[in-house]
Amino acid sequence: MFGSGTRNAAYQAVAGPGHGRGMSQVGAFDQATAGATADGILAHYYPGAQLGTIAPTTVRVRLTVYDKETLDVYSDSGLTVAGRRVVAGQAAHLTPTPDGGANVVVTIGCDGDVLWRGSTDDPWAYPADPGPDRPAAEHLKVCDGSSFRGVLGVTQDNGQPVTVNQLDVEDYLLGVVPAEMEADWADKGGAEALRAQAVAARSYALAEHRYPYAQTCDTTDCQMYPGTDKEDSRAADAVHSTAGQVLMRDGHILRTEYSAAPGGGQPIDITTLEVGPTPAELESAPGAPAAPAPAAPEQAVPEQAVPEQAVRGNTAIDAKYAESGGAAGPLGDPMGPESLLPGKVGTFRLYKGGVIIATPTLGAQIVDYARLLQIAPQVSQSAGEGAGVQAAAPGGSRTPGTAATPTPPPAPSGQNAATGPGPADSVGTPAAATGAPAAATGAPAAATGAPAAATGAPAAATGAPAAATGALAAATGAPAAATGTSAAATGAPADSSAAGIAAPDHTAPVPEAAAPQQIPG
C-alpha cells in the first residue's frame, strides 16, 4: 500500500514577523500594489547589488523532515535504483552505508512482499526522466510523504540517514516561492512581489553551502521547501518570468536574506551579507543523466519474469517518444515499461495517447491500439477474457499477478545481493513514518494545490477495444502505471562530520553568464 498523506502538511506560507534583514515580504507586497516592479523592489532592499544571470543549474536540498529514516520512494511512472527498473506499483527503500553507497530493498507497494534486495554504490533514485519541468506522474513520491521533482538520494550525517533532493533550481523554486509568500498576492496586485521573491530565493539558495552533501535545507533555517505540495500556477509564473536571475556583489551570488518584517522593512548594507560562488562556478543542470552510469537498468521483478518483461537500455522506442515531444506530446505519459511483443518479434510501450512499437522491419512507429492488435494479434489472444491492469495509486493497495514470495534475480554488476525474500531486515527496513513535520509559522497559506495529473484513458477514436490496454498488459505481465526563508537564519554553516553523497554523473562546467547589470532604481 502506498501512503496517502503528506508529512509536510504543516508547511504554510509565512506571513508573520521576521528578523528585518533584507527584503520585507510585506513591504514588497505594499510596493508592488503601489506600482513598483520586481527590479525596483530589489533595488530598494539591496542597494548596490547587481542583477546577473546564471546558466541552468541544480541545487541539493537536505530534506530534514526525513532525517534518521530510510528513504522509501516510488513513482507512478516507475523509477530506477541500484541499476534496476522499479515499475509502477513497486517501491524502493534505500538505507545509506558508511562507504557512500546504499542498501536497497524493492517491494510490492510501500509495505508489501520483497521482490529484490541488494547494495549499490549509487545511492540515488532516478525518475523516468530526471530533467526539469517534468509532469506530476513522473515525480518521485516518498511513502507517507511528499512528492519531489528531480532525484532523491541518501547519505549519512554523524552516522544517521539523511535524504537529499537534487533538482533543477527553477523546479526547486516552484516549491519554495508559494511556501514563502502567499501565491494569491498575485490576485491582489502583488505579482511583482512574487517575482522579487523568486529572484531573492534563487540567489539565497545558490549562495548557500550548509553541508558537504547539500547546499541548503527545507526548513526556516534555510528556506521553506515542501517539495511539490504547495506548487501554484501564480508562483510558477513568477519563477518562469525571472528564470536565471540572481543578485550579485563583486561577481558573486549574494545570500539575499529576507523576512516578513512588518512596517515595510529597511534597505540592507549588502556588504554585511555573505556571498556564494560566481555563476561560472555553479554546476550545470542535468539533461538526462544515465542512471546508473555503468549498464542499462534491469527491471526489479521476479527472476523468471525478467526475460519476458524487461527491455533494457536506450531503445528506438525511447528515441521515438522523445522525438514526438515526450510526456508533453500527443502520447502523454507512459503507462508501463517497454515490453516484448509475442514471439519476441519486437517491442512495444503503452502511453496514454497511443502506442510505440519497434521491430527490425518497421523500425519505431507510433500507432493506436487497434493497429497494434492488427500487427500482433497474439497480444489480445494470449491475454484471455477479463484480463485487466491492476493500477497502483497512493492510498490504494495493489496485488499484482506475481508470486507472493518471488525468487530475487541476481544482483547487477558491482552490487552485492542478499539472499531470500521476506520482510526487510537491517539492510533497509521500510520503517513507518515517525518524524514530525517541521512546525509552520505565520498565517495559513493560500490554497495552492497543484492540479491533478490527467488520468483519462486513450480516446475511443483509436478504434481499440475498451479492454485493449488491460489485454496488452496482461499478455506481457507489465503492470500499468497509476493513472531565504521568511525568517532566514544567518548562523554559520552547521559543523558536520557527514559523509559526502556521490553526485549523479551529469556535472560539467557551465559557460560564463552574461555580464551583470546594475538594478535600475
| pLDDT for 193 | 98
Give me 9's grid cell.
502538511
Q: Is the pLDDT assigned to residue 350 strictly greater than 60?
A: yes
Specify the DSSP element, H or E, that contains 172: helix 169-180
Q: Is 450 helix (H, G, I), strand (E, B) or coil?
A: coil
Q: Which residue has the higher pLDDT, 287 or 88?
A: 88
Cell of 190: 502583488
Mean pLDDT of the 337-354 span: 73
Q: What does the pLDDT read at residue 319?
A: 80
At 55-108, the pLDDT tens digits run: 999 999 999 999 999 999 999 999 999 999 999 999 999 999 999 999 999 999
Nearest in space to 39 (alpha carbons), one of 349, 247, 229, 255: 247
Residue 147 and residue 142: Cα distance in Å, rounded? 6
**pLDDT of amino acid 399:** 25
pLDDT band at 137 (very low <50, low <70, confident <90, very high): very high
Percentage of the chain beyond pLDDT 90 is 49
Average pLDDT, the chain: 73
Mean local confidence (pLDDT), 367-383: 60
What does the pLDDT read at residue 276?
Answer: 97
Alpha carbons 72 and 86: distance in angstroms, whole number: 12
| pLDDT interval class at 238 (50, 70, 90) | very high
Secondary structure (3-state) at 479: coil
Q: What is the pLDDT of residue 344?
A: 59
Residue 342 burial class via C-beta count within 10 angstroms: exposed 0-12, middle 13-18, buried 19 and up:
middle
Q: Which residue has the higher pLDDT, 177 or 449?
A: 177
Confidence of residue 402 (pLDDT cuts 50, 70, 90): very low
Helix (H) or strand (E) holding 348: strand 347-351
Nearest-angstrom CA–CA distance, 205 and 180: 13
85, β-bridge pairs: 80, 299
DSSP state string for 359-424:
ETTTEEEEE-HHHHHHH-THHHHHH-TT-----B-TT-----SS-SSPPPPPPPTT-------SS-
Residues 6+ apart with CB under 8 A from 322: none
Helix and strand totals (H; E) in the chain:
10, 24
CA 364 to chain centre: 29
- pTM of the entire predicted model: 0.60
Q: pLDDT value at position 334? A: 79
R_g (Cα) of the chain, nearest Å: 24
Closest CA to 333 of 350, 347, 319, 346: 350
Mean pLDDT across 418-438: 36
Are β-strands 216-217 and 58-62 bridged in parallel, bridged antiparallel, or unpaired?
A: parallel
29 three-class SS: helix
